[in-house]
Amino acid sequence: AMVWERSDMGYADREYFRDGGRSSSGRLTRAPVVKWLLILNLGVFVLEFFGLSSAFEALGVFSVEKAILNFQIWRFITFQFLHADFGHLLFNSIAIYFFGSFVEQQLRSRAFLTFYLLCGGAGALGYSALVSANPAYPDVGVVGASGGIFGILAIAALIAPDMRVRLFFPPVTLTMRLLAIIMLGYGALVIIYGGRNAGGEAGHLGGALAGFLMWKIPAFRQFLHNLARPRGAPARKRGGFGIRITKEKKSYTRKLGPKIKNKEEEADVDRILDKINEHGLQSLTEEERKLLSDSGDRKP
């Protein structure tokens, strides 16, 4: 099964996740997809505990034989909501709660749900590639949300590479970029040396690769942007998640130039950039994000 292997690893509740000091319930209010993912994962686990485990496994576990060779395509989705045990569920839920809520607020809910499920499906393909290419790894099947979670980790590291993450053990603080590198490096080593859960680690890498490509390839990023825009709003040829500022020597500076039409708006943008430098991108309100996005997307 795909698991969050380091069971002694905790997750951050740093200021970057707090958005003005709001409570944890407020975080889920602003991330409805994350809330429902947590509810569904827990609900399925409870139903398994009360006697439906065999039925769910028979219908939902992903394996190359069943999902690909027998065309049971639904397994690319269903396996993401099954977990091997409570520890597996707990650590995946913690990751979805902290990192998923952050990414959902960046992508918006419809885009985030699509992104999450596609990364999970890519995790299944990563597992499939390993067991198909190497007969030493039997096709025993895979369950868990880790493919989608590693896609979330990858895109979080791209959006906010300097975001700080505190580990419970060892008690250190890492940047989001370094955490992603460590987790992916660990997965690669497990696969190379044939360690325990190599199939699950291949799924992790598949999910992370999908997240990376969906953020870096313009066509995929535009696809997410189109999902994120309000229904009925006109599509843009460019844009999406574009706060057009640059980081120079640990300081965000404005690159909007002639796109700002008046002094009042220019002053507002400069004030917002000062706030980013002091408190981080996640300290911005929705209105401040909209002002930056609108200013950045406006044609000169």
pLDDT of residue 283: 60
> In angstroms, rounded to a whole number, what is the distance separating the alpha carbons of residues 280 and 15?
8
Please measure the distance between the N-terminal and C-terminal CA atoms of the chain and give it in whole angstroms. 52
> In angstroms, rounded to a whole number, what is the distance separating the alpha carbons of residues 248 and 221?
24
Count CB neighbours of 117 within 10 A: 17
Residue 205 has phi, psi (to 5 degrees) of -65, -35
pLDDT of residue 125: 97
> In angstroms, rounded to a whole number, what is the distance separating the alpha carbons of residues 166 and 248?
25
Q: Give Cα 92 distance to the centre of its chain.
A: 12
Q: Which amino acid is at 162?
A: D
pLDDT of residue 197: 87
- DSSP-assigned states of every residue in the chain: ----S-TT------GGGTTTT--HHHHHHT-HHHHHHHHHHHHHHHHIIIIIHHHHHHHH-B-IIIIIIT--TTHHHHGGG--SSHHHHHHHHHHIIIIIHHHHHHH-HHHHHHHHHHHHHHHHHHHHHHHHH-TTS----B-SSHHHHHHHHHHHHHH-TT-EEE-SSS--EEEHHHHHHHHHHHHHHHHHTT-TTHHHHHHHHHHHHHHHHHHHSHHHHHHHHHHHSPTTPPP-SS-SS---EEEETTEEEE--GGG--SHHHHHHHHHHHHHHHHH-GGG--HHHHHHHHHHHHS--
pLDDT means per 10 residues, the chain with 300 residues, are 29 32 61 95 93 91 96 97 93 93 92 97 96 92 95 95 83 91 94 88 96 95 87 52 47 50 68 68 68 61
Q: Which two tokens stand for residue 152?
A: 């979330």
16 in Cβ contact with 163 (< 8 Å): yes
> In angstroms, rounded to a whole number, what is the distance separating the alpha carbons of residues 295 and 96?
31
